[in-house]
Amino acid sequence: MKTDDIVVKNSAINWKDIFALRDFKKGEIVLRWNISHTLSKQQFQKISDEEKEYITFLNGKYMIMQDPEKYVNHSCEANTKAKDFCDVAIRDIKKGEEITGNYSDTSSKNHMKCMCKSTKCKKNIVC
């Protein structure tokens, strides 16, 4: 995966998102996360809900998501899944398609209103 395989731009789902600049095959890594910004559980518990917007919990780590991975929006019909600190395609993704993940794959236990506009939207998610 190269950074020129994706682009951050305006999204119909929520403010900004990542879009594919090429086709990705099912199982291919779409995006590798920068995991150099981690928090302890105590640090995470002390920050405001607003600050938690770009924090995810995966594999026992609280991470502050960085550019560009922090712009992957949630969808109830996501085209990637979180695996080993990467977004991995769970189906073929076409050039120009918005890259989405299922925030329920991470387990920080935050609740949020879903804005994905999918026909299978759950309206509220635990992420």
Contact 27, 39 (CB under 8 A): no
pLDDT at 90 over 90: yes
CATH architecture of the domain with residue range 3-126? Beta Complex (2.170)
- Structural domain boundaries of the chain? 3-126
The pLDDT-based confidence of 110 (bands split at 50, 70, 90) is low
Q: Give the number of C-alpha atoms closer than 13 A to the C-alpha of residue 20, restricted to the C-beta side.
A: 22
Secondary-structure percent of the chain, ordered helix, strand, coil, rounded to 5: 15, 35, 50
Taking 70 as the threshold, does the pLDDT of residue 54 lie above it? Answer: yes
43 vs 105: which has the higher pLDDT: 43
Tell me the pLDDT of the chain averaged across its residues. 85
Q: By C-alpha distance, which of 9, 4, 10, 13 is closest to 79?
A: 13
pTM of the model: 0.82
Q: pLDDT by residue (tens digit) across 5-46?
A: 999 998 777 778 899 999 999 999 999 999 899 999 999 999
